[in-house]
Amino acid sequence: MNPPTNTQTDTQTETRPTETVIFAEGLSKQFQVKRERVDAVTGLDLEVRRGELVAFLGPNGAGKSTSLRMLTTLLTPSSGTATICGHSVLADPASVRRRIGYIGQGNSGSYGQRVRDEMMSQGAFYGMSRAATAKRTAELLDSLELAPLAKRTVMSLSGGQKRRLDIALGLIHSPEVLFLDEPSTGLDPQSRAHLWQHILDLRRDHGTTIFVTTHYLDEADQFAERVMVMDHGRVIADDTADALKTTLAGDVITVGFSSEADATAARTVIGEVTGAETSADPGSATTAPPVTALSVTVQSGDRLLPRLLHGLDAAGVPAVSATLRQPTLDDVFLSLTGRSLREESAGTGSAGAPKLTPTESESLV
Do the beta carbons of residue 223 and residue 196 sit within 8 Å? Answer: yes
Residue 73 CB, nearest approach to ligand ATP (Å): 16
The 12-51 site mask, x for binding ligand ATP (CB under 6 A), equals -------------------x-x----x-x-----------
β-strands 251-257, 292-298 pairing: antiparallel
Would you say 80 or 123 has its CB closer to ligand ATP?
Answer: 80
Query: Judged by CB under 6 A, which stretch of 236-244, 321-329, 333-341, 353-361 contacts ligand ATP?
Result: 353-361
DSSP 137-197: HHHHHHHTT-GGGTTSBGGGS-HHHHHHHHHHHHHTT--SEEEEESTTTT--HHHHHHHHH
* Cα gap 309→183, rounded to integer Å: 45
Starting at the edge strand that comes first in sequence, how are the strands of the sheet with 321-325 ordered?
278-280, 292-298, 251-257, 321-325
User: Does residue 358 belong to the site contacting ligand ATP (CB under 6 A)?
Assistant: yes
Would you say 178 or 319 has its CB closer to ligand ATP?
Answer: 178
Distance of CA 239 to the CA centre of its chain: 13
User: Does residue 78 belong to the site contacting ligand ATP (CB under 6 A)?
Assistant: no
User: Does residue 355 belong to the site contacting ligand ATP (CB under 6 A)?
Assistant: yes
User: Does residue 101 belong to the site contacting ligand ATP (CB under 6 A)?
Assistant: no
Starting at the edge strand that comes first in sequence, how are the strands of the sheet with 79-84 ordered?
36-49, 20-33, 79-84, 87-88
User: Does residue 353 belong to the site contacting ligand ATP (CB under 6 A)?
Assistant: yes
Residue 353 CB, nearest approach to ligand ATP (Å): 3
Residue 96 CB, nearest approach to ligand ATP (Å): 19
Dihedral sign (CA 108, 110, 115, 116)? negative
Query: Judged by CB under 6 A, which stretch of 19-27, 298-306, 319-327, 346-354 contacts ligand ATP?
Result: 346-354
Residue 41 CB, nearest approach to ligand ATP (Å): 7
225 secondary structure, DSSP code: S
Do the beta carbons of residue 26 and residue 42 sit within 8 Å? Answer: no
* Cα gap 109→9, rounded to integer Å: 34
Would you say 65 or 161 has its CB closer to ligand ATP?
Answer: 65
Contacts of 32 (CB under 8 A, 6+ apart): 38
What are the CA-CA distances from residue 246 to residues 59, 227, 243, 332 (Å)? 22, 13, 5, 9
**What separation, in Å, do the N-terminal and C-terminal C-alpha atoms of the chain show?**
33
Q: Does residue 345 come out as left (phi exceeding 0), alpha (psi in the -120 to 50 range) or beta?
A: alpha
Would you say 9 or 357 has its CB closer to ligand ATP?
Answer: 357
User: Does residue 103 belong to the site contacting ligand ATP (CB under 6 A)?
Assistant: no
Binding to ligand ATP (CB under 6 A) within 56-75 occurs at: 58, 60-66
Binding to ligand ATP (CB under 6 A) within 254-313 occurs at: none
Would you say 58 or 327 has its CB closer to ligand ATP?
Answer: 58
Would you say 44 or 304 has its CB closer to ligand ATP?
Answer: 44
Residue 187 CB, nearest approach to ligand ATP (Å): 16
Strand partners, 153: 114
Residue 181 CB, nearest approach to ligand ATP (Å): 7
Query: Judged by CB under 6 A, which stretch of 111-119, 164-172, 311-319, 348-356 contacts ligand ATP?
Result: 348-356
Residue count at the site for ligand ATP (CB under 6 A)? 19
User: Does residue 149 belong to the site contacting ligand ATP (CB under 6 A)?
Assistant: no
Distance of CA 289 to the CA centre of its chain: 40
The footprint of ligand ATP (CB under 6 A) covers 31, 33, 38, 40, 58, 60-66, 351, 353-356, 358-359
